Amino acid sequence: MNHARLFGTLALCGLLAACNHDSGHSIDFGAGIHLFHGSIRTGDGQITLRASHAPDAIIDADGDLRIDQQAVTVDPAVRELLKSYYQHAMTVETDGIDTGKAGAAVGKQALQSVVSSLSGGNSGQIKQQVEAKAQQVKLAALKLCNDLGGIQSAQDQLVTQLPAFQPYGHIVSNDDVNDCKNGIHVN
């Protein structure tokens, strides 16, 4: 592994590690999921959907929906879809933390491998050791993409079954899910 690549890897790992502060909520998910067509924020046991030209929509764990602070009446099937949307959004938070921790582990492994190589002279193992840890980051990132796909699936069904949800039906697009998965090549 050449020095420029090694230092680039270490810099990337440092950025990922900076997200991890061992506080239980080490990545700022209060900022939420920001996409081209809107955002999803988590906090206080609920998620808040923001879309252009629409009031905020709030979904809680029980599948209750409020739009512009007004309760929306839903049938049991729609309530289950709202619960699914909520659960996938909350899973993004959990999986995001796992991805940050996996990224920090890559940085730690890279640093340990470099120190070990410098003291023992076995530089051939650095790439292997770092790439093994990098696979964990890729797997964690892929879980995030799948969570995003779950949000999109629930969102698309909600749009067809609940007219009040239509303004929020483009927050997560198929392109968002595909773009997320592009470039993640797991061995």
For 57-70, what is each residue's pLDDT tens digit? 999 999 999 999 99
> Is residue 161 assigned to a domain?
yes
Neighbouring C-beta atoms of residue 154, cutoff 10 Å: 22
> Is residue 120 assigned to a domain?
yes
DSSP-assigned letter for residue 23:
S
Beta bridge partners of 49: 40, 57
Owning domain of residue 150 = 3-26+75-181
d(CA 106, CA 133): 5
Ranges of residues in the chain with a pLDDT under 50 are: 1-30
> Is residue 80 assigned to a domain?
yes
Tokens of 15: 């950025």
Three-state SS at 48: strand
Write down the pLDDT at residue 7. 36
> Is residue 95 assigned to a domain?
yes
Three-state SS at 98: helix
Q: Is the pTM of this model over 0.75?
A: no
> Is residue 124 assigned to a domain?
yes
154 in Cβ contact with 85 (< 8 Å): yes
> Is residue 46 assigned to a domain?
no
Q: Is the dihedral of CA 23, 151, 77, 168 positive or negative?
A: positive
Number of domains into which the chain is organized: 1
100 in Cβ contact with 19 (< 8 Å): yes
20 in Cβ contact with 101 (< 8 Å): yes
Tokens of 177: 């899910």
